Chain A
Amino acid sequence: MAATGVGSRARDIFTALEYGPVPESHACALAWLDTHNRLLGHYVGGEWLKPEHRNAVSCRDPITGENLANCLQAQGEDVAAAVEAARTAFKAWSQLPGATRARYLTQLAKVILMHQRLLWTLESLVTGRAVREVRDGDVPLAQQLLQYHAVQAHAQEKALAGWEPRGVIGLILSPPFSFLDMMWRVCPALAMGCTVVALVPPASPTPLLLAQLAGELSPVPGILNVMCGPALLGPALASEPGVQKVAFCGAVEGGLRLLIQESVWDETVQRIQARMGRLRSGRGLDGAVDMGARGATAQDLAQHYVHEAQSQGGQVFQAGDVPSDSPFFSPTLVFGLPPAAPCAQAEVPWPVVMASPFRTAKEALALANGMPRGGSASVWSERLGQALELGYGLRVGTVWINAHGLRDPVVPTGGCKESGSSWHGGQDGLYEYLQPSGTPARLPFLCESLNYDTFGLVVPSTVPSGPETGPSPAPPYGLFIGGRFQPPGGRSSRPIQDSSGNLHYVAEGGVKDIRGAVEAAHQAAPGWGMQSPRARASLLWALAAALQRRDTALASRLERHGSEPKAAKAEVEVSVRRLQMWGTQLQDQGHTLQVAGLRGPVLRLREPLGVLAVVCPDEWPLLAFVSLLAPALAHGNAVVLVPSGTCPLLALEICQDVATLFPAGLVNVVTGDQDHLTRCLALHQDIQALWYFGSAQGSQFVEWASAGNLKPVWVNRGFPRAWDEEAEGAGSELSLHAARTKALWLPMGD
């Protein structure tokens, strides 16, 4: 064989040792788009729909700007049609045995395996992300998700007896997102028997591909319906009567915030800069690049942030082998920003890293917890004890120790504060799509005409209705805040009449009192949260014993408010037992999850929420109050309660015992107009969760108002609850709502 000029080329290669380009051909993606004539419709009810007179948005390659395909945009009637298809599908899909759904999910995993090249090519082409990320990260994880949830579906009848699928789930995704974000939500929904209508951003072919693959395989048409549409269609989807739950995935920040201890600042920054210098940007489909580009919008965001940071006093370092033309943006390190600068608090866009120094772990914790977001964090330290202190102290949903970004279907992912309170993955993710069996179907608007501005704003004035009557001693007058009875800020009272016509006056609580109560609760919360389960148990037992000593007085008050003597006595007994039960139940301190491919445990911790506000129902004035107070305390929370409107005196009686037994501020009781106090609580941004058991309108207001700080809410939508039954009054549902989860990853290695 003559080896002519080729020999010199081999020698050049051996001398230069450059990376050769490894372009992934996107021919298969284009071929798939061609099968639709480059015009993608909606995938609804198991088939492709291309309704007439719809706008089409162009899906462009983020790097070259080339038009890849046009996507039809949905309108209101398309959404309604999709929800209808999903509802029909739900009837059949939810009735299938879990094993059948499990088989479907496993087959879908296999289909993804067979068509993975098309999937990763299309995703990388359309989003501009490096193909390595999609091929080696997203696609295998998607398969794992399907397989994990297949197992959960299989075990559903036994493991989740007493829970049923919610119904049709509306899924709203905003750009930028990856198809994996959709899979995290679709897999548990389908596994548990729900059906899905997904509204994806205007130019997203990949979810449509997934819908097609899923739909072709499905025994029931319409379990997964996907449409592209503008963001303002979201409310239309949310208010469709058939939709039982809406899952919203907001924009995911791509940048990172780094907190570096001062003693290692110089070395760390040097290493980061050296590493940044080696990053290669290029077309996402080139297998040899580290970073792609995410389009003009992402570039503008990054540009804007960097300029702002500079104007606020930050220094900027950029490096890497990046093509100079748009829309590529160099990996950027921003540092030197004072902590009060707006950029130091704002979300950091991709591909920027914002670094700040700190001196002690305590300072780091304060800096990290001082952000409004609470998603995930990683802690890097060679000292396990110190790393764990930070891991437990960080108010986020996921902590990795000496690792970052690890994900697995068995580990729940979620957050707190402004990152929202919903979960995907793990057991927690399943409960998002389940409700206790027999829960009535949910309507989007219980009251079309509810005026959010005026609900509960004004308290009707009350005038004196006569002197207090009835057997003494009555509980002390006042609101129970900070461990003692105090007069209300508004200095007025309201009359309470029992069925015998006896009259009592209780304090009229207002917004200042709520504020005081929440502050008192925040004083008590950290100490209580750190108590061991045994310490909490003993206090709950002590309260149970105190109630026992008062049992005749409590029973007679219940009788005076209309209970039969036997029923009153039973209510007191059950209340005492419930307190004892919650004390004895070993609070779920979390358990260890085994993750495939990781050596080392992942802990699923259950942590107190912080301050929990409860609006008690009017009925069962003693039992409901105790049934709500006990699990809240047992899980380590401090509580602010609004007792039954018709009979608040029982709660005040109990406060006398609370005053002697519990730390001040742990339990606070505010009496008054239920709607007004509900308004104050729902609008308060420093309450970590709100439980509301009042009217349908109140429930609607609570859900609307709590969006202010995204606190988790639990409302009864106006339906009464059978507090005397174990399932509803003392079941696992209460435990689920009374604490929040944190995943703590502890990979091994020395």
Chain B
Amino acid sequence: KGITTAAVCVYPARVCDAVKALKAAGCSIPVAAVATGFPAGQTHLKTRLEEIRLAVEDGATEIDVVINRTLVLTGQWEALYDEIRQFRKACGEAHLKTILATGELGPLTNVYKASLIAMMAGSDFIKTSTGKETVNATFPVAIVMLRAIRDFFWKTGNKVGFKPAGGIRTAKDSLAWLSLIKEELGDEWLTPELFRIGASSLLSDIERQIYHHVTGRYAAYHDLPMS
């Protein structure tokens, strides 16, 4: 079997098309949908929950939600927990990734608290950012979130996954991220079930690296299919 991406992530309106296209190609890669007013999360709770349900109905098996940053910035931790519980319920069987939008949360202590709340509320993954903020996935923020994941694991035995998104463009960058996970959490987390990188142009660069490994030559962008 070949090496593939872990999922294809699309806006809620495109889920149907994506599912159809992958089925036609005979590919079993899951479709993930962003939801809850991606990327800013500034819509009514009612519509946000409805978005999740519709995406799941259309065939998305993974949902990426954005937390309500107002609740973090005003310290309403219980309200944040309740909201994420509702997202969890709306997802049903679908895999839930909670985007913290760390660039907007202020100090790192807030990032840590938000991470723990997201995990306590039942997220399968915590994700650094939407990729649309000014500051996306940086190493300091990542270390805080990874340590939160480790603390949660030590206290409860539950493993939660991690996904950085935004600003990761080259295979070299992705190696730095892989090393970080390996150092902080260990080899058990180095699987698609527990670690994903959210990126689009990264795919081409990884393909070029594999091309080089196999043939000994550097490929041009046009030697490989567009992603």
Contact = CB atoms under 8 A, between A and B. Distances in A.
Contacts of A11: 1-3
Interface stretch (B74-82, B86-94, B207-215): B207-215
Interface stretch (B7-15, B27-35, B60-68, B182-190): B182-190
Contact of B182 (A1, A6, A17, A750): A17
Contacts of B183: 278
A304 B210 CA distance: 50
A232 interface: no
A17 B3 contact: no
Of A11, A17, A270, which is in contact with the most chain B CB atoms at under 10 Å from its CB? A17
Interface string A716-750: 00000000000000000000000000000000011
A1 B214 contact: yes
Nearest to B187: A17
Contacts of A270: 154
Given A1-B214, A1-B215, A10-B214, A17 B178 contact: yes
A685 B121 CA distance: 62
B152 to A, nearest CB: 14
Nearest to B216: A1
Main secondary structure on B side of the interface with A: helix
A6 B213 contact: yes
Interface string B16-55: 0000000000000000000000000000000000000000
A17 B183 CA distance: 12
A559 to B, nearest CB: 72
A278 B108 CA distance: 25
A13 B167 CA distance: 24
A396 to B, nearest CB: 29
B216 to A, nearest CB: 9
Nearest to B1: A11
A317 B225 CA distance: 53
Interface in A1-43: 1, 3, 6-7, 10-11, 14, 17, 19
Interface residues of A, number: 13
A353 B62 CA distance: 46
A6 B215 CA distance: 9
Contacts of B210: 10
A598 to B, nearest CB: 15
Interface string A268-287: 00100000001000000000
Contacts of A749: 108
Contacts of A6: 213-214
Contacts of A7: 214
Interface in B154-207: 154, 178-179, 182-183, 186-187, 190
B70 interface: no
A750 B214 contact: no
A278 B186 CA distance: 8
Given A10-B3, A17-B178, A750 B108 contact: yes
A587 to B, nearest CB: 37
A10 B213 contact: yes
Nearest to A382: B109
A270 B147 CA distance: 13
Interface in A423-477: none
A49 B87 CA distance: 78
A11 B3 CA distance: 7
A597 to B, nearest CB: 15
Contacts of A750: 107-109
A51 to B, nearest CB: 51
A3 B3 contact: no
B115 to A, nearest CB: 16
Contacts of A3: 214-215
Contacts of A1: 214-215, 217
A750 B215 CA distance: 47
A431 B67 CA distance: 58
Nearest to B182: A17
Given A3-B214, A6-B214, A7-B214, A14 B107 contact: no
Nearest to A11: B3
Contacts of A17: 178, 182, 187, 190
Contacts of A14: 3
Contacts of A278: 183, 186
A270 B151 CA distance: 11
Contacts of B3: 10-11, 14
Contacts of B179: 19
A718 B215 CA distance: 81
Contacts of B109: 750
Nearest to B190: A17
Nearest to B110: A750
Nearest to B183: A278
Contacts of B214: 1, 3, 6-7, 10
Interface in B83-130: 107-109
Nearest to A290: B183
A750 B187 CA distance: 29
Pick the most buried of B186, B187, B214, B217: most chain A CB atoms within 10 A of its CB.
B214
B105 to A, nearest CB: 12
A561 to B, nearest CB: 70
A603 to B, nearest CB: 24
Nearest to B179: A19
Interface string A228-241: 00000000000000
Nearest to A270: B154
A7 B213 CA distance: 9
Interface in B212-226: 213-215, 217
Nearest to A17: B190
Nearest to B140: A749
A704 to B, nearest CB: 52
A362 to B, nearest CB: 28
Nearest to B184: A278
A749 B107 CA distance: 8
A328 B226 CA distance: 50
B223 to A, nearest CB: 10
21 contacts: A1-B214, A1-B217, A3-B214, A3-B215, A6-B214, A10-B3, A10-B210, A10-B213, A10-B214, A11-B1, A14-B3, A17-B178, A17-B182, A17-B187, A19-B179, A19-B182, A270-B154, A278-B183, A750-B107, A750-B108, A750-B109
Which 5 residue pairs are nearest across A and B when measured between Cβ atoms? A750-B107, A1-B215, A3-B214, A6-B214, A17-B190
Given A10-B3, A17-B182, A750-B107, 8 more contacts: A3-B214, A10-B210, A14-B3, A17-B187, A19-B179, A278-B183, A278-B186, A749-B108
